[in-house]
Amino acid sequence: MALREQASRRAHIVTMRELRMYVYEVFKNLKLVEDSVESLDDWVHPTTGLKLENAVYLDGSALARRGYGTHEFVGSAIYSYDLRLEYSLALGCQGRDWHDVLAKMIGYDRTKPEVYPDDSAFVELLDPYYSGATFGPSVSRKLLEDFDNWQERASKVMEAVSIRSEPTDLFAEPPAPELVYDDAFTLAFWWLRNCFAHAAENGIVRLYKTPG
C-alpha cells in the first residue's frame, strides 16, 4: 500500500476512535422573524402561536468581535432559515488540533494573538477572542479570500508518519518517520471553505465543540 494511502487510513482511524470534534454550523438564507427576543426556547410565532421548525436565535453579544462585526443581522433576534448544515472536524489529525496545523502553515502564533491585525489571514478561526462568535456574510467572504489565497500552500502541507511494515525482527528499532502529504488537513481545509461559501451571501457560521 502506498505511503499516502496508509497515512490517510491511519488518520481516519484515529479521528473516528479517539478524538472529539469541532463543529462549524452554517445557516443559509436568513429572514428576520422578530427582534428584541431573549431566547428561542419559549418563543412562539405571534400570528400562528406555533414554534418555527427552521428558526435560529442570534445572541447580540455573539455578533461582534474585534474588527469584524456581523453587522448584517440584528442581535437578540429570531431568524428563519432555508438550510442548515454541519461541518464536523476532528479536534486533531493524528492527535493534533487542525487549527494548530493551520496556524503553523501561515506562521500564526496562537499564544500571542494580540500582535496580529484584525484583518490577518484566518484570524477569526485562530484567535480565541472569536470563541463563540457568529460570523455573517462579510466575515465569510473575507475568509473565502483567505482560503483561496492559501489553497496551493495547503495542498503541500506535509506530516511525519511512522509507517511500519510486517515485522521481521521483534527487537528491531522502529523505522524513521516518513514525510507524506497531510491529506486529513487538506481535506478539512477544503471542507471549511465550502462551509463559509454557504454563508457568503445571506448566512451565518458559528462554531461549537461536541461534548467529550
Q: How confident is the model at residue 52 (pLDDT cuts 50, 70, 90)?
A: confident
> Nine-digit cell at 123?
484570524
User: Which residues have C-beta within 8 Å of that of residue 190, sequence separation ≥ 6?
Assistant: none
- pLDDT of 110 higher than 60: yes
For residues 43 and 112, the model is more confident at 112
**Distance between CA atoms of residues 12 and 95, nearest Å:** 11
